Structure 1
Amino acid sequence: MGRILARDVLRGQPTVATSDVSNAQETIAELFGDHRLMPLGFRHSLDMKLRSVRRGGVGIEFLDYGTEVQIDAQALDDFFLVQIPLAGHARLQVRSSIIESTPMLATIPPLERPFTMTWDRGAPHLIVYVQRQTLAGVADRLFGLDSGKDLALGLSMDLKGIQGRAFLRSVVELQDEMAAENAAAPDHLHRLLAETMLSRLLMATIKPLGPAPGGNAADRGRLTRRFNELLERHSTEELSVSDIAVSLGVSIRTLQAVVRSELGMTPSELLRRSRLTRARELLLAGEPGRETVTSIAIEAGFSHLSRFSSAYLQTFGELPSESLHR
């Protein structure tokens, strides 16, 4: 995807602006916690601009200090931040570790350890805010982890790779929804977009625990083929990822890791995509007087019509009823 432009982040949302250092520090402290802000530019002045929207345990922020600054921050406790320079450079220092950040490399400040950041002049940031408990819940469903303390995201995220680009796309989709000037999107749509973004954040940052699961490359390839064959035959049945793992004789964790490594998506995402594809085939071939959206959704393996409709719209760009009446 192309570079995200500063003017497009939370476009239409109110911008908080100040040139007063104390006011800027106080405003940012309300969002991210105690810190010391020190302008390093000429005359030690700044021109801060901030836009911020939070909902349901996640948030999108746009922050530009308008000059070079140093930020000495206290340890984060109950939330994660993914900090993406939209231009220029920034640095994150945690003890002796220094991460040089660019639009292609995001930084993730650590939990429970103080850190220092330096943002160059002309380095506006898009910041993704995630409550620790919210991310832990997604990790539990995705990997079987049972609490936030088990999450080890590392200090940086490569945004050039497949997983990093997928994360960026999901961030753009989420911020588009959260930036809407009109009424907020329905809760179920927001949850879908947020969970997709959080899943991709985890997939881009969680480090493997030990050797690559699923054995060697040949073993992983066989497991992936069996997984795809099972989806092709049974995806429309009442089937969960746990059921698939049992059928294939592997743990959920191994199935998650191998499928994600080999196919770039989670088993649950692929299961949903298979069902959506089947539903679209049935809708396009259906007769409006004989079939209904509800009956086709159930036949394709969906039990919640509202979730099906939202996912279908997001995937194919039209409502199920529009496909049926083509």
Structure 2
Amino acid sequence: MLNTVHALSLEPLYRRRVFQSTRKVDCHAQVANELSEHDLFWKGDDVDTVLFKAAIQQLQIFMLKYGAEVIVRPRLFNGFALVHMTLSGTAEIESDGQKVCIPQGKTALIAPKRNLRLWWQAGSEQLILKVPLALFEELSAMGQPGPSNMPSLFLLPQQAAPHWDLLIQSLLRVLALPGQSEGHGEWIRHFERSAAQFLLSQLTSTVQPVLGVSGSAQVAASESGDSLVGAGKLQRLDMLERYIRTRLCAPLALADLASAAGVSVRALNALCHQQYGVAPMDLLRNIRLDAVRERLLTHPGANITDTAFEFGFGHLGRFSAYYRERFGELPKQTRGGMR
């Protein structure tokens, strides 16, 4: 089920466009100036970058879209943390060895201590809240954890998402106030503190933030597919499928799939056999084969070799054998039948 983030009214933010450009150099420089110095790696030339920004009092809200698929490696943040909300598409964040996939509707708090890497799917849009650590420090006197205790990466729990969306909507509505005069000052500060305090409350009420590779290994010894039931199991499988479908041509290992689902390799094997009747890597191959078949059915003129490579099959002989095993016919028969 998708997060209510899609119901957010972003109109007040969309009135505050910083820039829009199709030139890679300009895009890099503008985003670095507004958010943080970073290295930016473009994957493809479909650049259509747009950045919106609104400053409230201590908080800043951004909406950023690169257009093309990108990998971003920011410098360590200087005095602030980021709240990353995926509005459309998919993002993947790796901070200090912890990694999480953030599909549409998910939110993460990012406060790296050593390193940070972000991957954004082509065409994805991200809402970013820039929160100064000074605001968290103000609240730490009330018994909340201070910035020094903040995890490098924290995925907001699903049950907290509707409440967080209401807070963000309140902040967006503040932008529509005429002049944000002194008469509104304390009221606006209340909303900003509420947003920061809510994030801190989630940190204290959640036993574990995002498990990194080493953290997952520690709990994997006692973890099996049977330990996840109901909605928890379906959520893991949904995360896995989203991860695969956004990387149909990428080289993926079993460990990558387990990390995307947030479980150990052992647990992922159990889950996939229970739900799909196949191993995780077989599931990956089947999803890619389904994508190939859909392409051949909808585009009869598609080149079979190019299509196979596009969806991650580097060995054409094995690809044809897998395709025939799954669909009972060769790829050329599928394409030929549509003519």
Both structures adopt the same fold (TM-score exceeding 0.5): yes
Question: Do residues 28 (structure 1) and 37 (structure 2) align?
Answer: no
Q: CA deviation at 1:2?
A: 5.8
CA spacing shift, 1:64–1:9, aligned 2, 3 Å: farther
Distance 2:155 2:83 in 1: 8
Query: Contact 1:6/1:124 (CA < 8 Å) preserved in 2?
Result: no
Residue type of the alignment partner of 1:184:
Q
Q: CA deviation at 1:148?
A: 2.4
- State the match for 1:193 in structure 2: 191
- State the match for 2:179 in structure 1: 183
Distance 1:6 1:69 in 2: 26
Distance 2:199 2:152 in 1: 9
Normalised by the size of structure 1, how large is the TM-score?
0.56
- Deviation string 1:191-247 (CA, Å, 9 cap, x unpaired) is 11111111212222335689xxxxxxxxxxxxxxxxxxxxxxxxxxxxxxxxxxxxx
- Deviation string 1:125-175 (CA, Å, 9 cap, x unpaired) is 11111000112212322x254x421333743223x21x3321121011102
Residue type of the alignment partner of 1:130:
V
Deviates more, 1:106-115 or 1:121-130: 106-115
CA spacing shift, 1:30–1:207, aligned 2, 3 Å: farther
Q: CA deviation at 1:82?
A: 0.7
Tell me the C-alpha RMSD between the 2 structures.
2.4
CA spacing shift, 1:151–1:95, aligned 2, 3 Å: closer
The alignment partner of 2:13 has SS state of coil
Query: Contact 1:81/1:109 (CA < 8 Å) preserved in 2?
Result: yes
- State the match for 1:204 in structure 2: 202
The alignment partner of 2:127 has SS state of strand
Query: Contact 2:8/2:169 (CA < 8 Å) preserved in 1?
Result: no
- State the match for 1:94 in structure 2: 95
Q: CA deviation at 1:112?
A: 2.4
CA spacing shift, 1:59–1:175, aligned 2, 3 Å: same
The alignment partner of 2:119 has SS state of strand
Q: Structure 2 regions of 5+ residues with no counterpart?
A: 209-339
Distance 1:121 1:35 in 2: 19
Query: Contact 1:75/1:111 (CA < 8 Å) preserved in 2?
Result: yes
Deviates more, 1:9-18 or 1:24-33: 9-18
Residue type of the alignment partner of 1:71:
V
Q: Structure 1 regions of 5+ residues with no counterpart?
A: 211-326
> Equivalent pairs: percent with the same residue?
15
Distance 2:96 2:114 in 1: 9
Distance 1:39 1:83 in 2: 20
Normalised by the size of structure 2, how large is the TM-score?
0.54
Residue of 166, 179, 197 corresponding to 2:163: 166
Aligned residue runs from structure 1 range 103-118, under 5 A = 103-118=104-119
Query: Contact 2:85/2:107 (CA < 8 Å) preserved in 1?
Result: yes
Query: Contact 2:42/2:70 (CA < 8 Å) preserved in 1?
Result: yes
